[in-house]
Structure 1
Amino acid sequence: MTKSKERAEDTCSLVYQCRLPLSSSTVNHLADLLRRHLKSIRSRWRILPPGKIAVIVLAVLRHDQRLADMAGGSSVSESTVRRWRDELIALLAAQAPRLDRALRKVARHDGEVVLIDGTLIPTQRRTGRADRRNYSGCEHDDRVVPAVA
């Protein structure tokens, strides 16, 4: 049985840099969200600091960078980048207004259409005795999404 050693030049990976047009306040906001989350779940450490995790996740979300590419350049696994992405999306989603409140705000400003999940849902308000809340008929996650006209 022979033992072979891999040469160093065969195992190295190439890393490229690209410009990511983000404000420092965006990166800091996401990093602060992650710091607070890590403190609340009493996480002891992450392989990278929250600021670098925020930049990696923003690159994935903004430029649709492949997870494997971002992972290789950061010396972490693809599944780690996927977990960071999902975790930060959940943290951002928790800050979003509830759907019913957002629809009420649209109604107050005389909105005529509502865009939900990339679907344009035009509606017409009923008049007279038939005037009631309209529904688009578009079902999402086993619930009917109310549309405000």
Structure 2
Amino acid sequence: MTKTKERAEDTRPLVYQCRLPLSMRTVNHHADLLRRRLKAIRSRWRILPPGRIAVIVLAVLRHDQRLADMAGGNNVSESTVRRWRDELIALLAAQAPRLDRALKKVAKRGGEVVLIDGTRIPPPSAAPERPTGGTTPANTTITACTSSP
């Protein structure tokens, strides 16, 4: 009895390719975050290297690729891609500045924060006063993104 590795009835797996314009700096940054996380939790291995995981997650996030499509093309399960996506989002969120610290920084410069939907967040009232005698910088306006599920 011989074993064949061909699929039944001569079917071929479908592969969907798209161009993902990413810089090496972006991919390396995300891969480094994953490498640090793996060292911190003392994980011995993952099914794919951190660089490939980063590219898969960025394709899911940036081009809205379906999890099942990305999983099937890389021989991993859909739940694995979902877990990688959630893990990388959590790692990126941990690096983001907290809102209260960002507001204090803007208030120190004498600016205001305006969200994309037009909501104005006033600076905290406990902001330290600027020393007099110097030129006051122009008002700084930060535009923040809001997402709706």
Report which of the two has the higher share of strand: 1
Who is 2:65 aligned against?
65
Who is 2:80 aligned against?
80
Which amino acid in the other structure matches residue 13 of structure 1?
P
TM-score where L is the length of structure 2: 0.72
Which amino acid in the other structure matches residue 45 of structure 2?
W
Q: Deviations over 1:86-141 (max 9, x none)?
A: 000001111111111111122223333332xx65322568xxxxx947xxxxxxxx
- Show structure 1 runs of 5+ residues with no match: 1-5, 126-130, 134-149
Aligned residues: 120
Q: Distance in 1 between matches of 2:103 and 2:9?
A: 59
RMSD: 2.2
List structure 1 segments (4+ residues) > 6 angstroms apart after TM superposition: none
TM-score where L is the length of structure 1: 0.72
Q: Distance in 1 between matches of 2:37 and 2:80?
A: 17
Contact kept? 1:113, 1:120, Cα under 8 Å = no
Who is 2:112 aligned against?
112
Equivalent runs, 1:1-149 vs 2, <5 Å: 7=8, 9-10=10-11, 12-115=12-115, 119-122=117-120, 132=125
Q: Distance in 1 between matches of 2:65 and 2:102?
A: 31
Q: Distance in 2 between matches of 1:113 and 1:93?
A: 20
Q: Deviations over 1:70-98 (max 9, x none)?
A: 11111111100000000000011111111
Deviation at 1:64, TM superposition (A): 1.0
Q: Distance in 2 between matches of 1:71 and 1:15?
A: 11
* Pair 1:102–1:77, CA change in 2 (3 A): same
* Pair 1:21–1:8, CA change in 2 (3 A): same
Which amino acid in the other structure matches residue 66 of structure 1?
R
Contact kept? 2:113, 2:122, Cα under 8 Å = no
Q: Distance in 2 between matches of 1:57 and 1:124?
A: 35
- Show structure 2 runs of 5+ residues with no match: 1-6, 127-149
